[in-house]
Amino acid sequence: MRSRRAEGGEAAGAAAAAFTSVNETPDKKAAEWEVRPCGMLVQKRDSDADASGAAPVPTVRLKVKYGVASHEIYISSQATFGELKKLLSSKTGLHPLDMKLVYKDKERDSSAFLDIAGVKDKSKVLLLEDPTAQAKRLLEMRKTKKMEKAAKSISDISLEVDRLASKVSALDAILSKGGKVMENDVANLIELLMNELIKLDSIIAEDDAKLQRRLQIKRVQKYVETLDMIKIKNAKAQQPNHQPQHQVQTQNQQQMHQNGNLQQQQHPIHTQYQQQLQEKKVVVTTNWETFDSLFMPSTSAAAATAVTSIATPAPHPRFDWELF
């Protein structure tokens, strides 16, 4: 009986030991499994073991011919032709975009891989300049510089407009409080804003710079309109001070007009008086000529009578002649 109990105790102890050994390392067992993206539960791989077991990427030596010069380049066989262009740029001084790589009489794209194209160790590659790509790149660079210059000019004008806008706001605040502003200040601000508007019109911009230029033009036009309103309000505020002088000028003009009418009315009377005096003189002359004609009844008397008849419409005097 004792031996059976002892055997049973040993068996239970062994089972308990086995059970505890399983429960002591649950994390280690769980760490050896992982769930794949497809949902399958697989044993987890050891990345260090994979790295040590993977074959290294081979490095190839290429002979690149550029003109009369030849360059040796060491590069990974799994690299692209674009990466090869970058390595050649430091040795030849050419821009990667201005290069053409020819392998086995065929131009290779920058995104193509060396190993897929069949490039092996000690392979020969021909390097050529691409004038079309170079011209295109230069045009792009020039366009980029123009855009940067336009953006900088618009930014400078925007800062200047902000500075002038603060002065416009100050003038508007003074006028709204019942104060008065100098007309010269308003005119100077309008002139400065118009100069900035001319600068904006001379800028050639595209895309975002063009949009910014349009916004700044609208801002300047708005501030110019505000200054015009300030100018009108300021003139209305100063109008009562100038009204008495205007009335005095109006009265003077009325008096001058009345005096002119009086002179025009008096002028006919003076003219009539002068005509009467002339008629009297003519009558006297006629009498004088008539007196002479008493002693000389020749052709002079007829001439005198003709002159008197032409000079005055008065009737001819009738004389009684006495016969001796």
Asked if the structure places residue 10 within a domain, the reply is: no
pLDDT of residue 206: 82
Examine the domain organization and report whether 119 and 95 are in the same domain. yes
Query: How large is the average pLDDT for residues 262-274?
Result: 51
Q: How many folded domains does the chain comprise?
A: 3
Domain end among 185, 211, 240: 240
pLDDT of residue 208: 85
Asked if the structure places residue 18 within a domain, the reply is: no
> Is pLDDT at 160 greater than 90 in this prediction?
yes
Examine the domain organization and report whether 149 and 92 are in the same domain. no
Asked if the structure places residue 22 within a domain, the reply is: no
Q: pTM for the whole thing?
A: 0.46
Lowest mean pLDDT among 16-25, 114-123, 205-214, 245-254: 16-25
Mean pLDDT of the chain: 73
pLDDT of residue 193: 92
Helices marked H in the chain: 2-24, 26-31, 47-53, 81-92, 114-117, 131-176, 183-201, 208-295, 299-311
User: How confident is residue 159, by pLDDT bands cut at 50, 70 and 90?
Assistant: very high
User: Which CATH number is 142's domain given?
Assistant: 1.20.58.120
Examine the domain organization and report whether 176 and 125 are in the same domain. no
pLDDT of residue 223: 92
**Is residue 133 within 8 Å of 97, Cβ to Cβ?**
yes
Examine the domain organization and report whether 112 and 72 are in the same domain. yes
Predicted confidence (pLDDT) per residue in 176-200, tens digit? 888 888 888 888 999 999 999 999 9
Domain end among 190, 225, 240: 240
CA 232/CA 84 separation, integer angstroms = 72
Asked if the structure places residue 192 within a domain, the reply is: yes
> CA 301, 303, 306 angle in degrees (round to 5)?
110
Domain end among 213, 240, 267: 240
Examine the domain organization and report whether 216 and 180 are in the same domain. yes
> Is pLDDT at 294 greater than 60 in this prediction?
no
Which tokens is 146 given? Answer: 């123009």
Asked if the structure places residue 202 within a domain, the reply is: yes
Most trustworthy range by pLDDT among 16-20, 251-255, 279-283: 251-255
Which tokens is 287 given? Answer: 């009498």
Examine the domain organization and report whether 125 and 157 are in the same domain. no
Examine the domain organization and report whether 144 and 236 are in the same domain. yes
User: How confident is residue 63, by pLDDT bands cut at 50, 70 and 90?
Assistant: very high
Examine the domain organization and report whether 121 and 70 are in the same domain. yes
User: Which CATH number is 118's domain given?
Assistant: 3.10.20.90
Task: Give percent of the chain with pLDDT exceeding 90.
Answer: 23
Asked if the structure places residue 121 within a domain, the reply is: yes
> Is pLDDT at 136 greater than 50 in this prediction?
yes
Which tokens is 302 given? Answer: 């007829």
With b meaning 16 or more CB within 10 Å and e meaning fewer, what string describes 220-238? Answer: beebbebbeebbeebeeee
User: How confident is residue 44, by pLDDT bands cut at 50, 70 and 90?
Assistant: low
Examine the domain organization and report whether 151 and 221 are in the same domain. yes
Asked if the structure places residue 1 within a domain, the reply is: no
**Token pair 């000079």 in the structure block, residue:** 311
Residue 229 CA, distance from chain mean position:
24
Task: Print the domain residue range for 153.
Answer: 138-240
Examine the domain organization and report whether 94 and 125 are in the same domain. yes
In terms of DSSP bridges, do strands 59-66 and 69-76 run parallel, antiparallel, or are they unpaired?
antiparallel
User: How confident is residue 225, by pLDDT bands cut at 50, 70 and 90?
Assistant: very high
Examine the domain organization and report whether 82 and 142 are in the same domain. no
Examine the domain organization and report whether 121 and 166 are in the same domain. no
